[in-house]
Structure 1
């Protein structure tokens, strides 16, 4: 008999047009409203965004700060830094480059403050630069040291019949060369159900052929049999894709690169099911007897 879960943490209430609980990137599909902002939230945001967004943000902030200080130096008088060129644009660039040299503490010496006002401004800017670059250094360390799961989930989820039983399958691959030790996977079926005029979410733990292995050097196909012990046994296979249901997967393993246990969340919608398909084998042995894992074949499926 299949095992029904009371509430794994999502809540039992639901709605007719419910969206997926977990996005493709593993983040929970929750929209926060009236959320108070704080420094810790900013830190979490800055170490979680992509590297491209991070560097664009850093360069943008660096440019804006220098532009602001350039205008401040112009208001204080460009003659307190260097002789005016007579061109507002050239004077602005002289002030901008002096600001860049000050905030980075480079100080080439070509331009230097000549009065108390510009001396105070440049001193404050130098202190601000030390604080900002220390903060950026901490963020870089946090981004590099933050454990990141290296598991890659297949793009598709398939179902086919084997040995008289229909099986739902997806697979996982280690995308890095680090060793994944004792990976374990738990799969929960989220099934919205109508109760009178309202809806509620029911959760079921799916039995798997294997929910843990010792190592994951290549690929691992996770299989659920749609037998009498499956909560999907009351549905025809061709109707599974019509269910507004979701499979929520939690993968846990010990990563030798970070020397700690790492967790990764993923999900599939049953309407994404590929019926009567199976996965193409992604690894083989070459002529020298060495196993080769073809990443291009990881997502390939073939019709049975």
Structure 2
């Protein structure tokens, strides 16, 4: 008989329409409201967003700052930088390019500030540029040096017979090709069930895995949970399991040589997405010279069982 375990940190309260706890990308599915914003939050945000969003923010900030100083130069007189063209847009572009040269400390020499006022403004802008690029450099270092797990999980959670027992399986591999040292898996089943008060509450069960840890992982690892008498899913048929409001919470850990420390990654599978009567196809093979070839595109390759 399955033994219920303590709440792993998700919370006992639930809802009939409750969404999954962990998104496919490993982030927790929580909406934050009334959160106090601070500069530290901005740094954390810029560290964790995608590279595309990061560079778009950098580009946007660069355009805004240079546009701001370009407007100042125009208001105080573009003639103190270069000869006015008589066209507002062209003068703005000249002021923008001068601002870009100032803030990056390039200074091509084609334009230069005249007078004390413009010298003060351009000096302040140069200081802002130095501070800004130092901040961006720190962000770049933080993004590259931040320890992160590079685990790719299979899209599918499949159900098939294994060693004479119905079992749930998923598999994983390293995204970047590095050998994962001493990887281990913790799997917790969260079932949202009706309670005596007429609402819903979460019930948590630790899933026993065929192997919860291995020594190293150079290829793929198929993680197996046998649905035996000790499984919390033993009371359900395969058809009923897919109807249960449940989620398998995964925490994967391993030692990463690149960061010289243990890294962790969360993931989850929804019970209703179980693929029945299928099995995983091999993701690696041996070439003519005897080398093991791992095809990263084959992690999700499955085939139907007759």
Q: Tell me the distance in 2 between the aligned counterparts of 1:114 and 1:77.
A: 10
Moved over 2 A (4+): none
Question: Match for residue 91 of structure 2?
Answer: 91
Structure 1's unaligned 5+ residue stretches are none
Does the alignment pair 1:149 with 2:179? no
The answer to whether the 8 A contact 2:243-2:272 is kept is yes
Shift of 1:22: 0.3
Shift of 1:2: 2.7
Shift of 1:174: 1.2
TM-score (norm 2): 0.98
Question: Match for residue 102 of structure 2?
Answer: 102
Matches within 5 A, 1:226-241: 226-241=227-242
Shift of 1:276: 1.2
Does the alignment pair 1:289 with 2:280? no
Question: Match for residue 216 of structure 1?
Answer: 217
Q: Which moved more, 1:287-296 or 1:130-139?
A: 287-296
Please give the secondary structure, in 2, of the residue aligned with 1:242: coil
Question: Match for residue 302 of structure 2?
Answer: 301
Shift of 1:35: 0.3
Q: Tell me the distance in 1 between the aligned counterparts of 2:92 and 2:33.
A: 42
Q: Tell me the distance in 2 between the aligned counterparts of 1:240 and 1:276.
A: 14
Question: Match for residue 265 of structure 1?
Answer: 266
Question: Match for residue 79 of structure 1?
Answer: 79
Count of residue pairs the alignment pairs up: 304
The answer to whether the 8 A contact 1:80-1:114 is kept is yes
The answer to whether the 8 A contact 2:14-2:202 is kept is yes
Question: Match for residue 24 of structure 2?
Answer: 24
Instruction: Indicate the RMSD between aligned Cα atoms, in angstroms.
Output: 0.9
Shift of 1:52: 0.6
Question: Match for residue 131 of structure 1?
Answer: 131
Shift of 1:201: 0.3
Q: Tell me the distance in 2 between the aligned counterparts of 1:32 and 1:80.
A: 49
Question: Residues 200-240 of structure 1, C-alpha deviation per residue, up to 9 Å, x if partnerless?
Answer: 10000000000000001000000000000100000001111
Question: Match for residue 253 of structure 1?
Answer: 254
TM-score (norm 1): 0.98
Shift of 1:140: 0.2
